[in-house]
Structure 1
Amino acid sequence: MKINGPNHANFNPYQKQVNQPTDLKNNAKQQQDKVEISDQGKALQDSGKTSEARQKHINEIKSQVEDGTYKVDHQRTAKNLVDFFADK
């Protein structure tokens, strides 16, 4: 007495899943991730760098803060804040 029909001989529904990981490993060896930065992205990276004059000004303020000689001009700071938020 046959339990399986004529098309069910050597039928394994999981055979495709068993073979899949080896196929993925072969494809992974062939393909590698690749990153390219556009010209616009490179320009943005360069724009984040400070100029020499700006860096000199920053270093002066840092040294004044460390020495305790840095004085904040409250009137100028308030005016700059008002001007900044008034433009928006």
Structure 2
Amino acid sequence: MKVNGSNQTHFNPYQKQAQKHTAEKQQLKHQADQLQISDQAKKMQESSTAAANRKAYVEKIKHDVETGNYHVNHEKTAKKMIDFWTGK
């Protein structure tokens, strides 16, 4: 049974939410992405000499490992591990 009265309104409870969602989409469409790099990060990028020194050090270790000349100081390694885990 269908009841149609004179007080029938065309009320859609989701219409306001749908309009809000559409407005947000339009607003986001007009925004451009931005990227900001801090001064500290710029300084880190400029200090390529440290990176070059580190790369040379890593290459030396790789070479020593490949040739079998790399030796680990077990006492020094254990000491550093203990200091790290005890918070010293």
Scaled by the length of structure 1, the TM-score of the pair is 0.55
Distance 2:10 2:73 in 1: 87
**Which region of structure 1 is more displaced relative to structure 2, 58-67 or 29-38?**
29-38
Which runs of structure 2 are paired with 1:19-38 in the superposition (5 Å)? 19-38=19-38
Scaled by the length of structure 2, the TM-score of the pair is 0.55
The residue identity in structure 2 corresponding to 1:81 is: K
For each residue in 1:21-73, what CA deviation from the matched residue of structure 2 results, as whole angstroms up to 9, or x when unmatched? 33222112112332312112333455697443443232222111101122334
**Which region of structure 1 is more displaced relative to structure 2, 37-46 or 55-64?**
37-46
CA RMSD of aligned residues (A): 3.8
- Give the total of aligned pairs: 82
Q: Residues 19 and 56 of structure 1: is their aligned pair in 2 closer, same or farther, counting only changes over 3 Å?
A: closer
Unaligned runs of 5+ in 2: none
Sequence identity percentage:
38
Q: Residues 40 and 3 of structure 1: is their aligned pair in 2 closer, same or farther, counting only changes over 3 Å?
A: same
Unaligned runs of 5+ in 1: none
